[in-house]
Amino acid sequence: MTTIQPLVLLAPLAGVQLPLDQVPDPAFSSRLLGDGLCIDPTSQTLCAPMSGVISNIQDSGHAVSVTNEHGVQVLMHIGLDTVNLAGEGFTPLVEDGQQVQAGQPLIEFDADFIALNARSLLTLMLVVSGEPFELLVPATSTVETGQPVLQLKPATASVEVAQEQGNALFSKPLTLLNAHGLHARPAAVFAQAAKGFKASIYLHKQTESANAKSLVRIMALQTVRGDTLQVSAAGEDAAAAIEALVVLLADGCGENVVGVAPASTAETPAPVSSATLLRGVCASPGSAFGQVFQIKEAALVITEAGLGEAQERATLTRALSDADRALQAMQANVSGAQAEIFRAHQELLEDPTLLEQAHTLLTEGKSAAFAWNSVTVATTRLFQGLGNTLLAERAADLDDVGRRVLKLILGIQDDALEVPERAILIAEQLTPSQTASLDTCKVLGFVTVGGGATSHVAILARALGLPAICGAPACVLALSNGKQVLLDADKGELHLEPDPVEIEQLETARHQQSLRRQREVAQASLAAVTRDGHAVEVTANVASLQEVEQSLVLGGEGVGLLRSEFLYLDRNRAPSAREQADTYSAIARALGPERNLVVRTLDVGGDKPLAYVPMDSETNPFLGLRGIRLCLARPELLREQFRAILASAGQARLHIMLPMVSLLSELHLARRILDEEVQALGLAQRPKLGIMIEVPSAALMADLFAPHVDFFSIGTNDLTQYTLAMDRDHPRLASQADSYHPAVLRLIASTVKAAHAHGKPVSVCGALGSEVLAVPMLIGLGVDELSVSVPLIPTIKAAVRELHLKDCQCIARQVLNLEEAVEVREALYQFHTATAGTSPVLEN
């Protein structure tokens, strides 16, 4: 343990000393950064309160911290919100890493300028390393520069980290490679991994340390690319924790990282706006002509006093778990980067620092709303005020999560946003959740005053294809609703008096896009036949009767995958045999006797728990009792489902498909049960029986499976995860778990070859089949049917009609010999641009 001798801190400037509670900024008054004192200055030079090293001086010159050889760290912050002055009014006299003596001048400042241009001149001196201390001067007394004002308590004043860690193990120093440091997502991944260990774990940057299990603390370290970091851990699994976390950091915590060179921190100067043109930064490309619609968040009324600690604690716990459930549900409707954002939000709900601070306030008799709001607002402000663009953007995430929980505590329903047609939304800031739930039929784009190009809101806007700019001047908030404006997000411009020629060009491009969609929908009933006469069946992936009906309107030629486990997802009691039979019959009737209905038997387990099928928890659920394995372990479940499916025989061309088959014996066993049920029902004919090819063993043994099945359907989602050994839901592997990987494509190719050698058809029902980019390759590989997500049926059919089989076979041969998924994508992109002359990405 580090032992600290009694240490006296000197007043860094002259003025009136005030208690921190009187500082009108919760980031400081709540002691989020640390305890200390505040001085209303009468002098204009900030001096060192003790001897040590300058551990950080902000580029904007408004804040500086000094650390001594015992790890005591003191932060001084001149004025409130002075980061916004961008350095004006401050003259730093020292630099990072410089040794200074107690009383040495550190920063000169222009008190008049700051008093006029910032919120306040109040200056803070905080012991951010956490040692307890005694004040040596009475509150609200006058102090002189260099006067002893505060004494740290000896011995007991050990550093938080040292106290908690005892004989801690330390990793070797390593260099951080993430382009933007450990911002929310990599920090969430790191904190999540740290929470998997019992040891107390800290992440160290120079003399600063953060609890590695706290997302907020990691973010507050303000790491940047090139920083030297160390991990320390104390406890029974300390060594394992260090080993795992060091690898994680070296791998980028879920981000692609390369090279070591520190990134340039130079920022592009903000372009200038004019009376008819407002400029910001492109957050999401594209352009739109529409009408202004201002979004304003209503203020929430919060009562400070609670109704008793136990009750308020229960209220907070309930709101947090409701928020967690809502975020989980939001993830179900999105994928990739969008899902990762909501996962990071869930992490914030569990942040130990936030929760600890909120609970402390509850013990002081505050209400759950007040406690939660105080800690989230204080931390948000802290992130905004640290002078770091990325942290300021991450503040939007915390603000979003904070408001989500607060509304749940207050019982306020989030009403759906009512926006007019062709709306260009204008807001101070949109939250990630607001952005994710925008109605893209009405909203054409948005402009925000806050936010940044790397914010989660920007990521979501790109995923939704919505043009957006952020960092617009605040006067944009004064535009009246209904005003016609042109948003040119590519250039970061909002035109208030748009040029008719520009509007016309833009409208033409949008019009062509919508005509193409109309044409595709109008021609949806045409067969999907290539230009040289090769027919491909395009069917639907569905999970309800409603989707089946919709698929027929959009030209679906049948159902290629009915995910039966989704039919009763919200139930915690099994549907009766009668109810199941009715559901399958209704779907079969909607399709009619001429169309295929492929019912997949329950694919429960892995990422799909089903409340009425209780399962033991497993260490590796994706490799455990999932799909057909689970059904064979509970044969009554499978038997009953077979009976229910068979009740619809004759109403559609019935096919039964087994998921997750990895062994021939599974197929034989399931077939025997099916045969017994067919016989018991006295049916003249057994429906067709096929298997999903989604496990490499099934793909590799396709030649041995083929004689025993009527068809194969390739589940590229699982086939990719099992082939590349990458969890399909893993936030850090999302960009690598790519179905375009040649290893996956080779398994598709060999499966098709084996199936065709036995005269059996093959479909692709995984998400790869729904991608325009992949269509020529899949056709070239010999896939007979594409079972796709319902809205994309017209688009995929139209894409098939553009192609020549010979070209498809040629590109398929080519991609099988490539090394990486990204090369396959590039080759297909070139192919598409050469043959169709448009971008496949835009069409999707």
Interface region with ligand PEP, contact rule CB under 6 A, candidates 24-32, 269-277, 353-361, 710-718: 710-718
**Residues 707-746: x where in contact with Mg ion by CB under 5 A, - otherwise, as a string:** --------x--x----------------------------
Is position 723 an interface residue for ligand PEP (rule: CB under 6 A)? no
- Compute the least distance from the CB of residue 436 to ligand PEP, in Å: 22
- Compute the least distance from the CB of residue 258 to Mg ion, in Å: 33
Give the whole-angstrom CA distance, residue 758 versus residue 521. Answer: 36
Applying the rule CB under 6 A, the residues between 787 and 826 that interact with ligand PEP are none
SS (H, E, C) 101-134: CCCCEEEEECHHHHHHHCCECCEEEEECCCCCEE
Q: Please, is 378 exposed, middle or buried when counting C-beta atoms within 10 Å of its C-beta (0-12, 13-18, 19+)?
A: buried
Q: Which is nearer to ligand PEP, 488 or 565 (CB)?
A: 565
Alpha helices by DSSP H, 416-565: 432-436, 456-464, 500-522, 545-553
Q: Which of 402, 391, 390, 380 is nearest to 25 (CA)?
A: 380
Are 786 and 536 in contact, with CB atoms under 8 Å apart?
yes
Q: Which is nearer to ligand PEP, 662 or 716 (CB)?
A: 716
CA–CA distances in Å: residue 838 to residues 464, 634, 833: 19, 51, 5
Q: Which is nearer to Mg ion, 25 or 694 (CB)?
A: 694
Are 48 and 68 in contact, with CB atoms under 8 Å apart?
no
The tokens for 651 are: 């109403």
Give the whole-angstrom CA distance, residue 771 versus residue 596. Answer: 22
Residue 732 binds which one of ligand PEP, Mg ion, none, with CB within 5 to 8 A depending on kind? none
Q: Which is nearer to ligand PEP, 42 or 717 (CB)?
A: 717
SS (H, E, C) 26-76: HHHHCCCCCEEEEEEECCCEEECCCCEEEEEECCCCCEEEEECCCCCEEEE
- Compute the least distance from the CB of residue 659 to Mg ion, in Å: 6
Q: How many residues bind Mg ion (CB under 5 A)?
A: 3
Residue 620 is given by DSSP the state S
Give the whole-angstrom CA distance, residue 457 versus residue 399. Answer: 12
Q: Which is nearer to ligand PEP, 98 or 789 (CB)?
A: 789
Q: Which is nearer to Mg ion, 476 or 670 (CB)?
A: 670
Q: Which residue has the tokens 């991450």?
A: 394
The tokens for 401 are: 């999560």
Residue 306 binds which one of Mg ion, ligand PEP, none, with CB within 5 to 8 A depending on kind? none
Residue 214 binds which one of ligand PEP, Mg ion, none, with CB within 5 to 8 A depending on kind? none
DSSP-derived 3-state class of residue 771:
coil
Q: Which is nearer to ligand PEP, 151 or 736 (CB)?
A: 736
Q: Please give the backbone phi and psi of residue 613, each rounded to the nearest 5 degrees, phi first.
A: -115, 85
- Compute the least distance from the CB of residue 795 to ligand PEP, in Å: 19
CA–CA distances in Å: residue 739 to residues 350, 683, 722, 780, 813: 33, 40, 11, 16, 17
- Compute the least distance from the CB of residue 789 to ligand PEP, in Å: 10
Q: Please give the backbone phi and psi of residue 772, each rounded to the nearest 5 degrees, phi first.
A: -55, -40
- Compute the least distance from the CB of residue 723 to Mg ion, in Å: 13
Applying the rule CB under 5 A, the residues between 500 and 559 that interact with Mg ion are none
**Residues 524-563: x where in contact with ligand PEP by CB under 6 A, - otherwise, as a string:** ---------------------------------------x
Give the whole-angstrom CA distance, residue 732 versus residue 254. Answer: 4
Applying the rule CB under 6 A, the residues between 88 and 127 that interact with ligand PEP are none
Containing H/E element for 488?
strand 484-488
Interface region with ligand PEP, contact rule CB under 6 A, candidates 47-55, 320-328, 410-418, 711-719: 711-719
**Cα–Cα–Cα angle for 136, 141, 147, rounded to 5 degrees:** 50
Interface region with ligand PEP, contact rule CB under 6 A, candidates 23-31, 233-241, 551-559, 716-724: 716-724
Interface region with ligand PEP, contact rule CB under 6 A, candidates 214-222, 402-410, 509-517, 715-723: 715-723
- Compute the least distance from the CB of residue 766 to ligand PEP, in Å: 3
- Compute the least distance from the CB of residue 715 to ligand PEP, in Å: 3
The tokens for 345 are: 């939000």
Q: Which is nearer to ligand PEP, 79 or 715 (CB)?
A: 715
**Residues 586-625: x where in contact with ligand PEP by CB under 6 A, - otherwise, as a string:** -----------------x----------------------
Residue 807 binds which one of ligand PEP, Mg ion, none, with CB within 5 to 8 A depending on kind? none
Q: Which is nearer to Mg ion, 694 or 785 (CB)?
A: 694
- Compute the least distance from the CB of residue 764 to ligand PEP, in Å: 8
Residue 222 is given by DSSP the state -
Applying the rule CB under 5 A, the residues between 662 and 701 that interact with Mg ion are 694
CA–CA distances in Å: residue 484 to residues 151, 233, 284, 464, 666: 63, 59, 20, 22, 63
Residue 67 binds which one of ligand PEP, Mg ion, none, with CB within 5 to 8 A depending on kind? none
- Compute the least distance from the CB of residue 713 to Mg ion, in Å: 10
Residues 513, 516, 522, 524, CA torsion sign: negative
Is position 717 an interface residue for ligand PEP (rule: CB under 6 A)? yes
Q: Which residues contact 4 (CB under 8 A, 6 or more apart)?
A: 70, 71, 72, 131, 152, 154, 155, 157, 158, 159
Q: Which is nearer to ligand PEP, 431 or 787 (CB)?
A: 787
Q: Please give the backbone phi and psi of residue 30, each rounded to the nearest 5 degrees, phi first.
A: -80, 0
Interface region with ligand PEP, contact rule CB under 6 A, candidates 253-261, 356-364, 588-596, 714-722: 714-722
Give the whole-angstrom CA distance, residue 451 versus residue 471. Answer: 6
Give the whole-angstrom CA distance, residue 810 versus residue 790. Answer: 29
Q: Which residues contact 214 (CB under 8 A, 6 or more apart)?
A: 191, 351, 352, 353
Interface region with ligand PEP, contact rule CB under 6 A, candidates 105-113, 306-314, 409-417, 709-717: 709-717
Residue 765 binds which one of Mg ion, ligand PEP, none, with CB within 5 to 8 A depending on kind? ligand PEP
- Compute the least distance from the CB of residue 698 to ligand PEP, in Å: 12
Q: Which residues are catalytic?
A: 456, 765
Q: Which is nearer to Mg ion, 131 or 718 (CB)?
A: 718
- Compute the least distance from the CB of residue 767 to ligand PEP, in Å: 7
**Residues 747-786: x where in contact with ligand PEP by CB under 6 A, - otherwise, as a string:** ------------------xx--------------------
Residue 716 binds which one of ligand PEP, Mg ion, none, with CB within 5 to 8 A depending on kind? ligand PEP
Q: How many residues bind ligand PEP (CB under 6 A)?
A: 9
Give the whole-angstrom CA distance, residue 218 versus residue 390. Answer: 13
SS (H, E, C) 223-237: CCCCCEEEEEEECCC
Pick one of 694, 771, 807, 843: the residue that binds ligand PEP (CB under 6 A): 694
Pick one of 214, 222, 716, 770: the residue that binds ligand PEP (CB under 6 A): 716
Using CB positions, name the residue nearest to Mg ion: 718
DSSP-derived 3-state class of residue 338:
helix
Residue 581 binds which one of ligand PEP, Mg ion, none, with CB within 5 to 8 A depending on kind? none
Pick one of 452, 555, 715, 776: the residue that binds ligand PEP (CB under 6 A): 715
Residues 476, 478, 482, 484, CA torsion sign: negative
- Compute the least distance from the CB of residue 773 to Mg ion, in Å: 21
Footprint of ligand PEP (CB under 6 A): 563, 603, 694, 715-718, 765-766
Binding residues (CB under 5 A) for Mg ion: these are 694, 715, 718
